[in-house]
Amino acid sequence: MKITLSQLSFHTGNFAENTAKIISAIQDAKQIGSDLIVFSELATCGYPARDFLEFDDFIQQALDSILAIASQCTDIAAIVGSPRVNTLSKGKALFNSAYFLSEGKITHITDKTLLPNYDIFDEYRYFEPNKRFEIISYKDFKIALTICEDLWNIIENPMYPTSPMDELIKQGPDFIINIAASPYAKTQIADRQKVLSSNARKYQLPVIYVNHIGAQTHLIFDGGSCIVQANGEILQELNYFKEDSKTFDLIKKNQSIHIQVDNPNPIKSRNHYEDIENALVLGIKQYFQKLGFKQAILGLSGGVDSALVSYLACKALGNEHVWAILLPSQFSSQHSIDDSLALVQNLNIQHEIIPIENTFQSFLDTLGPFYKNTPFGLAEENLQSRTRGVILMGLANKFGHILLNTSNKSELAVGYGTLYGDMCGGLSVIGDLYKTEIYDLCHYINREREIIPANILSKAPSAELRPDQKDSDSLPPYETLDALLNLYIEEEKGPAQIIQAGFDPILVQKILRMVNINEWKRWQAPPVLRLSKKAFGPGRRVPISGKYLS
């Protein structure tokens, strides 16, 4: 049997475009004689559809898509993910399903059994878990069809009481197909490869895996669809961070399965920072494409954060679509202006210099009767940031651009940012990268030639909101801060465990309190492109007014 894996980017709710892409791929697979083409989880509607799934019309359009796709499945079969109505008398309204389409119709439906309900996943909100296990017979092969999480219960101390493959293996399948919507995170590629290989070895069956590619708001899907031998060896991978397809032959000889691929490309070690860069570029690109925008604007401060975001925006959108605005105040150093101009030249992007001193002073004059007899302090510092925010949003609004936010995860964590100021924007590009990771990524970007000016990477970080200000005036060294934050946010360690790891108890109490009392700010921040297993946003749900550790 000749099988094609089709790794495509889908747009949530864009049924016409998604259906057309699927049908086009089916026609291409027919041309090369494929017997079966496999698409990813919830391909018709995009993933995640979230509360769109609660609209009857949305579900009907998904079914209409399936029927349109099925009509093209003559002389070929297709596996397509889509929601379907639960016609049983009990349970949630929907199933997360994989449709098997052949002979111009729906010939089999497999429903997802294990519904993740952690981090960014919220599937049990919408879907009923499957309780019926049947293999699919097609062209003398028996297929164990599973959906994403259905293969992830193989770890020690499993999360779910049921393992779908433990049930399906009893029916003697020849191989496993898994369709998925598995988003990128910094450790996810290695974790995913381990899970797929473990399943192949445990059940002594080949695993055919198809994942989403693309980005949906804050989530980035990295692809990496693959073919896994029964011994656990990953025989071939599709591209990461790109649409791709691969076709191979599955041959049955004496009840054993042989996989024949052209130009097998066994997995190779991955560069951590190359993956992060590719993920962020894809996230920016598809955020703009799917919202129908082309132009980005951002404030360029002379610091490392805005420099990195400028570079990533140029890679995603093209340098002709990036507009950098320098907004110096009376506290801005000349070297910050010079460093920004050097970056502008390196990236060849349009820029403007708009001094804010007069605008800032007009705000001070307006507030003067209320601020009188008080020292210059945090309110005045924040007012500078808000002046910049007003100007940037005014330009973005006037010319139809998206303002890119340049806050990093270290700052977002401890509230080191100004609401309606430097926290403005339509998308937080690096809000899931700690400051130390940003420096490391910039050094990677500069590995062949200087793109981020060396002076930006060597000088002490500063918001430049008062004379001689440094980040270190308010925060511990970023190496210390980021390690502490990682334990609390990603590793979910409490204060006692963090202190046991060697951190000063007074510092631990201070930093954790800063994290907790600034949750209200993060609720008003732009969506953050997710790179870790615990990014700020829908995957980290803590109360604003909670008392824990505060």
- Max Cα–Cα distance, the chain, nearest Å: 92
Is residue 112 annotated as a catalytic residue, yes or no?
yes
Residue pair 79/100 in contact (Cβ under 8 Å)? The answer is yes
- The torsion defined by the Cα of 63, 69, 70 and 72, in degrees rounded to 10, comes to 160
d(CA 172, CA 180): 23
Evaluate whether 425 touches 405 at the Cβ level (below 8 Å): yes
Phi/psi for 225 (5° steps) reads -55, 150
Q: Which residues 6+ apart lie within 8 Å of 439 measured at CB? A: 304, 457
Q: Is 85 helix (H, G, I), strand (E, B) or coil?
A: strand
Nearest to 326 by CA among 316, 338, 318, 311: 338
Identified catalytic residue from 41, 128, 411, 490:
41
Within 10 angstroms of residue 540's Cβ, the number of other Cβ atoms is: 18
SS3 of 156, please?
A: coil
Count the Cβ atoms, other than its own, within 10 Å of residue 248.
20
Residues 17 and 39: their CA atoms lie apart, in Å, by: 15
- Cα four-point dihedral sign 476, 482, 488, 494: negative
- Residue 519 CA to residue 536 CA, distance in Å, equals 10
Q: Is 148 a catalytic residue?
A: yes
Catalytic residue among 2, 73, 128, 148: 148
- How many of the other CB atoms lie within 10 Å of CB of 128? 18
Give the sheet arrangement for strand 105-111, strand by strand. 105-111, 94-102, 77-85, 36-38, 2-7, 244-253, 256-260
Structure tokens belonging to residue 391: 């100007």
| Given the residues 21, 112, 290, 315, the one annotated as active site | 112
Give the C-alpha separation, 467 to 479, whole Å. 25
Select from 355, 307, 360, 292 the least CA-distant residue to 328.
Answer: 355
Residues 6 or more apart whose CB falls under 8 angstroms from that of 118 comprise none
- Find where tokens 């009392």 sit: 517
Residue 338 main-chain phi, psi, to 5 deg: -65, -40
| Inter-residue contact 524 to 423 (CB < 8 Å) | yes
Q: Does residue 424 have an active-site annotation?
A: no
Helix, strand, or coil here: 141?
A: strand
Other beta carbons within 10 angstroms of residue 251's beta carbon come to: 12
Pairing, β 36-38 against β 219-222: unpaired
Please state whether beta strands 322-326 and 350-353 pair in parallel, antiparallel, or not at all (unpaired).
parallel
What is the Cα Rg of the chain in Å?
A: 26
Catalytic center residues:
41, 112, 148
